[in-house]
């Protein structure tokens, strides 16, 4: 193995293997392969070029539960598809999963349109080439015009659609994210549908965690109204007390509560929505318009 990126002891189970139940052994991740070794003579080698999905938890219904925190690796094995579940301590699996995603995605050529939209305004931005890399807390697209960084915590929504890219219909990821209170949309395409799916899975992990955290937040009607007002006014220099028809002290108290809940941050003129705040407003507008 040319270079070892991760090497730890854990448990693993591979669908279709002759072994009855999970095995204990070494999990070794290299630049081009993942090796699950119960012993020197009993190894399963998974080329990274065969991996098409990485999912937290045990998503392989045919495999028994394994003690510890599991992650499922789905890959092509000849003409069929199969899965391996790796489990260890939560911290270890968290680091391993991050390194695995980097090994799978770093250096992937991308075709990028950024920004494709600012707020609700569609821009005539041209697609340009770049290279994808995963860095601490964000996705970076290195282009000739400089890096385009999308912090994971800024992502409001994303979807997979078919769009015209350089005259041909191609699958793209449509990523909506916040930048200092401004809603941006970025389109990213890769030559490999497999890599695009893995990137989508990587983004979904953080997005799902963000949605789960929002379930713990309760808002009063004045707080929801204030968020909707900030969404409507953006960072314009307007008097929030006038728009909300509330006393300055009341508005200050509401803004403080929203800031404590991670829904707003400081802008140039007025507070602006964070990604969490934008998601809350989106959900509110969907309820109102349904």
pLDDT digits (tens, 9 = 90+) for 98-144: 999 999 999 999 999 999 999 889 999 999 999 999 998 899 999 99
pLDDT category of residue 60 using cuts at 50, 70 and 90? low
Looking at 52, 80, 104, the residue that finishes a domain is 104
Same domain, 19 and 97: yes
pLDDT band at 64 (very low <50, low <70, confident <90, very high): low
Could you tell me how many helices (H) and strands (E) the chain has, helices first?
A: 6, 17
**Confidence at residue 62, expressed as pLDDT on a 0 to 100 scale:** 54
Q: What is the pLDDT of residue 63?
A: 59
Q: What percent of the chain has pLDDT over 90?
A: 66
Q: What is the pLDDT of residue 180?
A: 84
Are 209 and 236 found together in one domain? Answer: no
Q: Which of 190, 214, 238 is the last residue of a domain?
A: 214
**φ/ψ of residue 168, rounded to 5:** -130, 145
User: Does residue 287 or residue 8 have the better pLDDT?
Assistant: 8
Same domain, yes or no, for 99 and 131?
no
Angle between helices 193-214 and 90-105 (to 10 degrees): 140
Of 78, 104, 130, the residue at which a domain comes to its end is 104
CB atoms within 10 A of CB 161: 10
CA angle 10, 15, 19 (to 5 degrees): 70
CATH number reported for the structural domain that contains residue 244 in this entry: 1.10.10.10
Residue 73 has pLDDT above 70, yes or no: yes
Reading the block at residue 36, the tokens are: 């699950």
State pTM to two decimals: 0.86
Q: Which domain holds residue 236?
A: 221-289
Average pLDDT in the chain:
90
SS3 125: coil
Report CA-CA distances (Å) from 167 to 110, 126, 163, 228: 16, 12, 9, 39
Q: Can you list the positions of beta strands (E) in 57-167?
A: 69-77, 80-88, 108-118, 121-122, 128-135, 138-143, 146-151, 155-165
CATH number of the structural domain spanning residue 79: 2.30.29.30
Is the predicted pLDDT of residue 30 greater than 90, yes or no?
yes
């Amino acid at each position: 193995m040319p270079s070892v990126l991760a090497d730890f002891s854990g448990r693993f189970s591979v669908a279709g293997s002759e072994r009855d139940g999970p095995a204990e052994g070494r999990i070794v991740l290299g630049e081009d392969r993942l090796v699950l070794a119960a012993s020197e003579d009993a190894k399963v080698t998974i080329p990274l070029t065969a991996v098409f999905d990485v999912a937290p938890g045990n998503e392989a219904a045919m495999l028994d539960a394994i003690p510890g925190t599991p992650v499922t690796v789905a890959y092509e094995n000849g003409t069929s598809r199969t899965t391996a579940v790796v489990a260890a301590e939560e911290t270890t699996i968290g680091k391993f999963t991050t390194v695995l995603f980097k090994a799978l995605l770093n250096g992937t050529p991308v075709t990028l349109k950024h920004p494709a939209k600012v707020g609700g305004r569609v821009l005539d931005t041209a697609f340009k080439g770049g290279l994808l890399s995963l860095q601490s807390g964000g996705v970076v697209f290195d282009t000739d015009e400089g890096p385009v960084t999308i912090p994971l915590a800024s992502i409001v929504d994303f979807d997979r659609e078919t769009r015209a890219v350089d005259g041909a219909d191609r699958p793209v990821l449509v990523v909506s994210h916040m930048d200092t209170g401004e809603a941006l949309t970025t389109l990213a395409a890769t030559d490999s549908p497999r890599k695009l799916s893995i990137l989508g899975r990587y983004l979904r992990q953080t997005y799902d965690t963000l949605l789960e955290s929002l379930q713990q937040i309760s808002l009063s009607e004045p707080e929801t109204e204030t968020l909707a007002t900030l969404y409507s006014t953006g960072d314009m220099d307007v008097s929030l007390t006038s728009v909300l028809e509330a006393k300055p002290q009341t508005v200050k108290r509401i803004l403080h509560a929203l800031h404590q809940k991670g829904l707003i941050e400081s802008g140039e003129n007025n507070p602006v929505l964070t990604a969490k705040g934008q998601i809350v407003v989106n959900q509110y507008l969907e309820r109102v318009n349904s």
